[in-house]
């Protein structure tokens, strides 16, 4: 039976660590830039240059804000609203994929040394929490080994489905003709000046609807050692695999050029070619961010106790492929525990200090979106306020039922909410009036991001010092990136 944990862990490691280089279209951007490049670079219209009836200009890439041919005519990148919207969405996904919480460092078995007998005796009737902490330590010179595997397939973002085109972005036409009028005189920014008909085609939009699949597999190995009866140290080593598959379904909205459909088309000479699909997929696997842990029992009186914990998260995971946050993090917390008979409760409150980090999504040329797109308060990796509460029921000497609540407040991370945006346009070939089209789109706003997740599961003592566990995680809010149900299975082995 002792070979079971090693066999299961070996199978998962082989699966996660198998070479799987990113298949994104912009490989130098990694998975962190896959979505941003798909929407902002890869949605292009072909050139009408070469005799297509009704053409006005070569229109290749005119709906990409990073069109190199016309980039010199654009204002500062952070001033373009389509960049800010897509970048904020992409960074919200990256932050939650790369800063996932690991399980508890508390060992399933807690022992106390009895001087009168010269032996260790089991002190707790339950096998401990799953994601919360308890005040008790595992005992001096005791070792505990653990393993967990978590699979997540994300379903929603801010309450809207990631699949089946429930999330849309709007790409305005580049300001490709600054100052142009029919008689050659200069006009403001070239859009709606004295003769708007000369550049009216800039009023058209491309609507990009997203169909996205995001999946993660995380295998984490835990080790804890009791330096004294009051002080435990430990380490958690995660191996992570991330798979992204995104399809951008583009639709040409001919607000200005309905009567001249050949100006903007996804196929030259075909006015009915108003839609296009572009796909980007990638996967990456490797070492995540290693976690160093320490817990000190400040006071213990029977089942009631108080402990202080310190978790140091090292930036060992590749942030460009969403395997880590790319920042050093330190979490300090206080844990209080109590209980009676076969019930135990735990409550913890903590704060996570984060370094600057490097989760800004990359572009295909290796440059990053500027933070100014989100406002001066935004950071690539945010500080967190953490609250966790847990309850255990020793239903049987060999079975413990566990439930936890996990709260995270990402400070100044902001949120994206749907707002109605207005897009001005004029009809091609007419001098006015200016019209307005309105569409709902995500918009970033400042503030904190509050996440709350519930877990329920069991720990079973199947043989000697071996525990098997299974848990489900269910989000209780719609905020951010959500998986309706995530499954976690694990093993816990105490060395006698």
Would the pLDDT of 133 be above 80? yes
Query: What would you report as the CA-atom Rg of the chain, rounded to the nearest whole angstrom?
Result: 28
Separation CA 330–CA 310 (nearest Å)? 7
- Please classify residue 313 by burial: count the beta carbons closer than 10 Å to its beta carbon, then call 0-12 exposed, 13-18 middle and 19+ buried: buried
Separation CA 460–CA 180 (nearest Å)? 75
Question: How confident is the model over 142-151, as pLDDT tens digits?
Answer: 888 889 999 9
CA dist list (Å): 48 to 130, 256, 367: 61, 17, 30
Confidence of residue 407 (pLDDT cuts 50, 70, 90): very high
Look at the block and give the residue holding tokens 């490709």.
Answer: 176
Helix (H/G/I), strand (E/B), else coil: 32: helix
Task: Render the burial of 475-488: b for 16+ CB within 10 Å, e for the rest.
Answer: beeebbbbbeebeb
Q: Are 455 and 475 in contact (CB under 8 A)?
A: no
Q: Are 276 and 21 in contact (CB under 8 A)?
A: no
Q: Are 355 and 328 in contact (CB under 8 A)?
A: yes
Write down the pLDDT at residue 238.
93
Q: Are 414 and 449 in contact (CB under 8 A)?
A: yes
Question: How confident is the model over 107-132, as pLDDT tens digits?
Answer: 666 655 555 555 555 556 678 788 88
Q: Write phi, then psi, for 181 (nearest 5 degrees).
A: -135, 170
- Stretch among 49-53, 280-284, 342-346, 354-358 having the lowest mean pLDDT: 49-53
Residue 74 host element (H or E) = none
Look at the block and give the residue holding tokens 């022992």.
Answer: 111
Separation CA 237–CA 146 (nearest Å)? 10
Separation CA 200–CA 188 (nearest Å)? 14
Helix (H/G/I), strand (E/B), else coil: 477: coil
- Choice between 8 and 140, residue whose per-residue pLDDT is larger: 140
Residue-level length of the chain: 496
Write down the pLDDT at residue 456.
94
Confidence of residue 425 (pLDDT cuts 50, 70, 90): confident
Domain containing 174: what range? 3-495
Which CATH number goes with the domain that contains 421?
2.40.160.40
Write down the pLDDT at residue 480.
84
Separation CA 179–CA 432 (nearest Å)? 18
Question: How confident is the model over 57-102, as pLDDT tens digits?
Answer: 556 667 877 654 444 444 434 445 667 677 777 777 777 777 777 7
CA dist list (Å): 68 to 30, 49, 61, 268: 21, 17, 9, 21
Separation CA 87–CA 82 (nearest Å)? 8
Separation CA 263–CA 253 (nearest Å)? 12
- Region 165-183: mean pLDDT is 70
Dig out the tokens for 21 from the structure: 């280089």
3 state SS for 275-313:
EEEEEEEEEEEEECCCEEEEEEEEEEECCEEEEEEEEEE
Total domains in the chain come to: 1
Dig out the tokens for 261 from the structure: 């459909």
Task: Render the burial of 417-453: b for 16+ CB within 10 Å, e for the rest.
Answer: eeeeeebebbbbeeeeeeeeeeeebbbbeeebbebeb
């Amino acid at each position: 039976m002792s070979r079971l944990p090693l066999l299961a862990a070996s199978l998962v490691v082989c699966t996660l660590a198998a070479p799987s280089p990113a298949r994104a279209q912009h490989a130098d951007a990694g998975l962190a830039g896959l979505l941003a490049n798909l929407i902002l670079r890869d949605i292009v219209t072909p050139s009408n240059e070469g005799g297509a009836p009704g053409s006005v200009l070569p229109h290749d890439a005119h709906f990409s804000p990073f069109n190199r041919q016309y980039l010199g005519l654009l204002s500062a990148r952070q001033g373009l609203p389509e960049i800010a919207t897509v970048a904020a969405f992409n960074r919200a996904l990256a932050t939650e994929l790369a800063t996932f919480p690991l399980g508890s460092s508390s060992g399933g078995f807690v022992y106390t040394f009895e001087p009168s007998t010269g032996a260790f005796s089991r002190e707790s009737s339950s096998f401990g929490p799953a994601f919360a902490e308890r005040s008790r330590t595992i005992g001096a010179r005791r070792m505990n080994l653990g393993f967990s595997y978590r699979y997540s397939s994300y379903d929603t973002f801010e309450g809207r489905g990631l699949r089946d085109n429930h999330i849309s972005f709007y790409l305005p036409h580049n300001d490709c003709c600054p100052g142009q009028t029919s008689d050659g005189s200069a006009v403001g920014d070239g859009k709606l000046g004295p003769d708007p008909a000369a550049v009216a085609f800039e009023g058209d939009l491309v609507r990009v609807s997203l169909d996205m699949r995001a999946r993660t597999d995380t295998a984490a190995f835990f080790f804890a050692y009791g330096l004294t009866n009051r002080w435990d140290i430990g380490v958690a080593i995660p191996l992570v695999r991330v798979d992204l598959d995104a399809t951008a379904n583009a639709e040409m909205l001919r607000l200005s050029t309905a009567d001249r459909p050949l100006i903007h088309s996804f196929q030259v000479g075909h006015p009915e070619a108003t839609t296009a699909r572009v796909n980007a997929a990638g996967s990456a696997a490797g070492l995540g961010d290693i976690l160093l842990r320490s817990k000190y029992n400040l006071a213990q009186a029977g089942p009631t106790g108080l402990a202080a914990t310190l978790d140091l998260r090292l930036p060992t995971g590749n942030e460009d492929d969403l395997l880590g946050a790319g920042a050093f993090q330190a979490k300090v917390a206080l844990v209080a525990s109590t209980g009676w008979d076969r019930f135990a409760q735990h409550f913890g409150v903590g704060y996570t200090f984060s370094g600057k980090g490097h989760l800004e999504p990359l572009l295909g040329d290796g440059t990053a979106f500027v933070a100014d797109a989100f406002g001066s308060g935004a950071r690539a990796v945010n500080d967190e306020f953490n609250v966790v509460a847990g309850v255990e029921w020793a239903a049987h000497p060999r079975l413990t039922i566990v439930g936890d609540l996990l709260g995270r407040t990402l400070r100044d991370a902001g949120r994206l909410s749907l707002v109605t945006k207005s897009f001005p346009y004029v009809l091609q070939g007419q001098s006015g009036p200016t019209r307005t089209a309105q569409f709902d789109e995500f918009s970033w706003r400042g503030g904190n991001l509050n996440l709350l997740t519930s877990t329920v599961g069991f720990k079973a003592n199947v043989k000697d010092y071996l525990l098997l566990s299974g848990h489900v995680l269910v989000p209780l809010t719609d905020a951010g990136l959500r998986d309706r149900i995530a499954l976690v299975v694990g093993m816990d082995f105490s060395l006698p």
